[in-house]
Amino acid sequence: MRWLITGAGGLLGHHVLERLAAGRPDDSVVGLDRARLDITVPRSVRDALAEHRPDVVVNCAGYTAVDAAEAHEPEALRVNGAGPRHLAAACAERRARLIHVSTDQVFSGEARTPYAEDHPPAPRTAYGRTKLAGERAVLAVLPRSSAVVRTAWLHGARGRSFVRTMIELEARRDTVDVVDDQLGQPTWAADVAERIVLLGRRPEATGVFHATNSGAVTRYELAREIFRLIGADPGRVRPTTSEAFAAPARRPPYAVLAHGRWREIGAAPLRDWRTALREALARHSLRA
């Protein structure tokens, strides 16, 4: 099977490439970062697919600067909305399958029970709006040969993440203030990569899937667990509120996703976030 990974230089793209490298020997895998493939340029997208002739395209490229998107929504929309549409159109021409990565921020964040895959979207941020545009474009162009994978609170071996930030702050500060009014699902990118590859190999699996580690925790509680796992005193983490941190984009107070669709294809939901975090910290050195 021939695979093409966009955004291969990013946090999730790295783990998808790593997962495929450890997989079947007959897989052919090409990873392209932004310098080698700008998904906002239709001609570049068509040329890349013509050159590499993938059976499956995994789109890990995206405009992920959530706060910057508030002031630069047209730019974010070109990457998160138009880019996936160009990929879907090229995949349709070449009869390739497309796995597209999205976010929990397509939802309002006001719920109190986990968001099902078919819950009506209602994004409250520019980032969420642009990612929803990409989802809709992919599903409209490739309704029978695409899957959208929503994830949240991602951490991994490279790139920026809340986990990495907490480890860096632990080394520099006596105490760290962390919000205790945002509930979500810390998710190891390696676990998401495993599900992306699974979907790529299952042509009957179409539509929206939620790929987050199971369970839920506030950012404050997560920071305490990170400190504990790296041998630091969790008491150095102090709770605060979102109002204490002024940011252009309001973070969802509730970012918990349900996982019902995995059972439809005979797969269990992703494992608990604590187990995944423990393994991620043991496998990857994230200290600055």
Across 237-256, average pLDDT: 94
- Reply yes or no on whether 254 is catalytic: no
Share of the chain above pLDDT 70, in %: 98
Quickly state the pLDDT bin for 288 (edges 50, 70, 90). Answer: very low
286, pLDDT greater than 60:
no
Range of the domain at 34: 2-161+185-215+255-271
246, pLDDT greater than 90:
no
Domain count, the chain: 1
Give 69-106 pLDDT, tens digit per residue: 999 999 999 999 999 999 999 999 999 999 999 999 99
pTM of the model: 0.96
Q: Which residues pair with 177 in a beta bridge?
A: 238
Whether residue 248 lies inside any domain: the answer is: no
287, pLDDT greater than 70:
no
3-state SS class at 36 = coil
Whether residue 149 lies inside any domain: the answer is: yes
State the average pLDDT for the chain: 96
The number of C-alpha atoms within 13 Å of 152 and in the hemisphere containing its C-beta is 34
Contact 179, 240 (CB under 8 A): yes
Quickly state the pLDDT bin for 46 (edges 50, 70, 90). Answer: very high
Which spans in the chain are helix H? 11-21, 42-52, 66-71, 73-77, 83-94, 126-141, 162-172, 189-200, 219-229, 261-264, 273-283
Whether residue 229 lies inside any domain: the answer is: no
- The DSSP call for residue 25 is T
The pLDDT value recorded for residue 158 is 85
Whether residue 247 lies inside any domain: the answer is: no
Whether residue 66 lies inside any domain: the answer is: yes
Q: Which residues pair with 34 in a beta bridge?
A: none
The pLDDT value recorded for residue 28 is 96
Give 51-75 pLDDT, tens digit per residue: 999 999 999 999 999 999 999 999 9
- Nearest CA among 8, 14, 13, 16 for reference residue 32: 8
The pLDDT value recorded for residue 23 is 85
Pairing assessment for the beta strands 183-184 and 146-151 based on DSSP bridges = unpaired
Whether residue 227 lies inside any domain: the answer is: no
Contact 225, 217 (CB under 8 A): yes
Whether residue 130 lies inside any domain: the answer is: yes
- Active-site residue identified among 63, 127, 220, 254: 127
Q: What is the CATH number of the domain that holds 261?
A: 3.40.50.720
Between the two ends of the chain, the Cα-to-Cα distance in Å is 37
